[in-house]
Amino acid sequence: METPVSLDQFDIKILAHLQREGRCSNVDLADAIGLSESPCLARTKRLQESGVIRGYGAQVALDKLGPHVIVFCEVTLGSHRPRDLRKFETGAGIYPEIVECFHICGGYDYLLKIVASDVTHFQTLMERLLEDELGIAKFSSRIVLGQPLAQRSLPLKALLSAKPSWL
């Protein structure tokens, strides 16, 4: 795990505002967080250079693009040697349909979030992954029926405070 970057209240305000309004100008950002423009820009650049801010992007509404299916796929590997894990991760990274990949502990090794045009497209992708001989021993899939909470901002204050927000 990387060493955390030291953040103060203004840094947290910058991050929180940019999560909501990633396209805002520095002038608007500075005004929103109560800081003058020059220090606000310097802080934002520091957050970018330190890797806290990884980038900016559009949130695309998949339903506006046409039919699709989102599938969460639990993958168990036959071996847990580091080179076998890397082989799977590298192989899975080739496919753009795999939009997120989490290495986890528990009943399986990886949780994949896959976006495909339909179930047949998903099935073809899984067959390719198996044919690529990436060490998959078994997999189990969960097709998403709905998404009641989507693209929420990270709970910065809760993550950076001493006690959880629900206490």
Task: Go through the domains of the chain in sequence order and give each one's CATH number.
Answer: 9-58 (1.10.10.10), 62-143 (3.30.70.920)
Give pLDDT tens digits along the chain (167 positions): 677 888 899 999 999 999 999 999 999 999 999 999 999 999 999 999 999 999 998 888 898 999 999 999 999 999 999 999 999 999 999 999 999 999 999 999 999 999 999 999 999 999 999 999 999 999 999 999 999 988 778 888 877 775 444 44
* Separation in Å, CA 80 to CA 94, 101, 133: 20, 16, 15
The DSSP letter of residue 29 is H
pTM above 0.75, yes or no: yes
C-alpha distances in angstroms, 130 versus 27, 111, 139?
Answer: 51, 16, 10
97: helix, strand or coil: coil
